[in-house]
Structure 1
Amino acid sequence: MNRRKFIENSGLIGLAAMLPASGFGEVAKPKFKMGYQLFSIRDEMAKNPIKTLEFLKSVGYQDFEIYGYDNENDKYYGYKSAEFKLILDDLNLSVSSGHYGFYPYLEKSNDELKRFVDQCISGAKTLNSKYITWPWISPEQRTLSNFKLMSEKLNRIGEQVTNAGLGFAYHNHGFEFDDHDGQNGYTIILKETDPKLVKLQMDMYWVMHSSKSTPKELIAAQPGRFVMWHVKDIDKVTRDYTELGNGSIDYKNILPDPKKSGLEYYYLEQGGNFASNSKQSAADSAKYFKNTLQKFL
């Protein structure tokens, strides 16, 4: 299906007609595109992905991290990967990373894992993403032995993804910092994975919420490895998520040096606990970030 025909069929003809053939006019740009993790607005993405992306663009987001890839049908948000890429192109947006569902493969065979990784690579390449990211394991999997097993899987995936010309990363939550008789999962991951094959995506909310270290301290111990950040705030009372600027994280002081980090992409994020709704939260966090924090990057 050619570009024009797909636009007509998907209701984008009005939008495309308003766009200059060469895209938007050149303006002074920050070093990094302002990114958003689409899980933060999953209710709206489930209703209407195109209108949701249009809205996010209107408040300043240019780059995204996806979630929920349908690997067996090669679909993102109900669209074939090539169709979804066409939507992104017509909106002049990008997807630089994706959270893919690796956790069920922790106990599966390496052959099954390899097949899944091949599917993820295919989808990511179609979107022109640079990174594939392992985002989570289920509560029953969070044992020291499984962190060691996962580290072996991370190295295996990292080699396969790297050989395909993409990057691979691990995203932390808070459970990796839980104490297990003087050990924790994050230390195991850092020690037992190859930095050349497994990069890191730092979720700063969870580092500040659950770790004994600060983002700057973690980066000082592994300089150049934290290629992506998630930036979200901690509610002052409940310690749940909240809009940037409404919470207790003093980002003006805790943001690490992006060069020392090895930063390539960052994504604002809010998994829930919206003051009003997911769209307003996305807009409020974008405004605060642009006005207050973007200059530090």
Structure 2
Amino acid sequence: MFSKRLIPSCLLAVMALTSFSSAATEVENEIALQMYTLRNVGSAKDQFEMAHKAGFKNIEIVGTHDLSAGKMKALLTSNDLHITSAHVQLSALENQYQQTVDFNKAVGNNTLIVPWIKPEDRPDNQQGWIKYAQRLNALGARLRKDGMQLGYHNHNFEMKKYDGVTALEIIMDHSSKDNLKLEMDAAWVSRGGQDPVRFLKQYSGRIYAIHAKDNAGIGVRDDEMNFAPLGEGLLDWNSILPAAKASGVKWFIIEHDAPKDPWQIITTSHNNLRADLTKLAR
């Protein structure tokens, strides 16, 4: 005979399972995939289909992927994908401003991220970085008038200090919090000898997204630029993720710069990130 005493425990188990499932669904709306990771996977159609197959609901695009706005919208719709943001070179933003804004609005995106500075264009002193910050700030103000948000994505070279202050801090401190957000790449911050958690605390409320990838040790994944799937490398995600949540980070964007097996990289990172964020959400 079924014991009545088992009913409460069964209900608790069901409630716990439901709560876990709800949390997992909720965190999926915080996870995205940077499509640069899949740049060597066939056509744009193949890449968008792989993102969908891997369970992603959100993606960060790179430029236009050589697609018209209409064709990209069709791929987004057929793969049930939403754009969180787009990486767009500063030169394109400045020299093809209206074209860039129009394309992104047409595909449903309102956040543009400056992803990279060519070595020959990088400032080499504090005043140079201040001028660069002012340049970004002016562009961000213009974009805001057009209903768009500008962000900046770091690598390791912004961790270099000038008179005791990193270039990234110079950029952030000489621009408006409204005109420029930060998309912090935790792996590159660490490679530059800085602590991602410090930046998350220092610029709380201003870090729009984290690029969620991991660093491997020297001699490990040398043929993949020593990057690893999130949770399988050297970074302390048990500290980074709670700090990111406390800082108000909106998106956790999975990326890998040189994956030998893109499917394995994105699915492993996705599973690990979803599990970690789900634990925080419970």
TM range (shorter): 0.7 to 0.9
Judge conservation of contact 1:132–1:167 (CA < 8 Å) in 2: yes
Judge conservation of contact 2:111–2:149 (CA < 8 Å) in 1: yes
Which residue in 1 is equivalent to 2:207?
226
Which residue in 2 is equivalent to 1:116?
96
The answer to whether 1:99 aligns with 2:99 is: no
Distance 1:266 1:292, change over 3 A: closer
Which residue in 1 is equivalent to 2:140?
158
Judge conservation of contact 1:215–1:256 (CA < 8 Å) in 2: no
* Distance in 2 of aligned mates of 1:146 and 1:138: 15
Runs of 4+ off more than 6 Å: none
Which residue in 2 is equivalent to 1:277?
261
- TM-score, normalised to structure 1, is 0.77
The answer to whether 1:176 aligns with 2:158 is: yes
In structure 1, the gaps of 5 or more residues are 1-26, 70-75, 106-111
The answer to whether 1:48 aligns with 2:43 is: yes
* Distance in 2 of aligned mates of 1:51 and 1:294: 29
Q: Which amino acid aligns with 1:118?
A: Q
Which residue in 2 is equivalent to 1:63?
58
Which residue in 1 is equivalent to 2:70?
82
Judge conservation of contact 2:52–2:80 (CA < 8 Å) in 1: no
Distance 1:277 1:138, change over 3 A: same
Distance 1:184 1:279, change over 3 A: same
- TM-score, normalised to structure 2, is 0.81
Secondary structure of residue in 1 paired with 2:249 = coil
Deviation at 1:187, TM superposition (A): 2.0
Please point out which of 226, 239, 251 is paired with 1:265: 251
Deviation at 1:146, TM superposition (A): 3.3
Q: Percent identity?
A: 24
Judge conservation of contact 1:227–1:261 (CA < 8 Å) in 2: no
Task: List per-residue Cα deviations over 1:48-84 (Å, max 9, x = no partner).
Answer: 22222222212221111111x2xxxxxx223201220
Judge conservation of contact 1:199–1:225 (CA < 8 Å) in 2: yes
Which residue in 1 is equivalent to 2:273?
289
Number of aligned residue pairs: 251
* Distance in 2 of aligned mates of 1:280 and 1:59: 10
Judge conservation of contact 2:231–2:272 (CA < 8 Å) in 1: yes
Deviation at 1:163, TM superposition (A): 0.8
Task: List per-residue Cα deviations over 1:110-162 (Å, max 9, x = no partner).
Answer: xx92x523222111111111311111101122222432221111111101111
Please point out which of 151, 168, 171 is paired with 1:189: 171
Task: List per-residue Cα deviations over 1:19-63 (Å, max 9, x = no partner).
Answer: xxxxxxxx842143420111111101xx22222222221222111
In structure 2, the gaps of 5 or more residues are 1-20, 220-224
Judge conservation of contact 2:185–2:212 (CA < 8 Å) in 1: yes
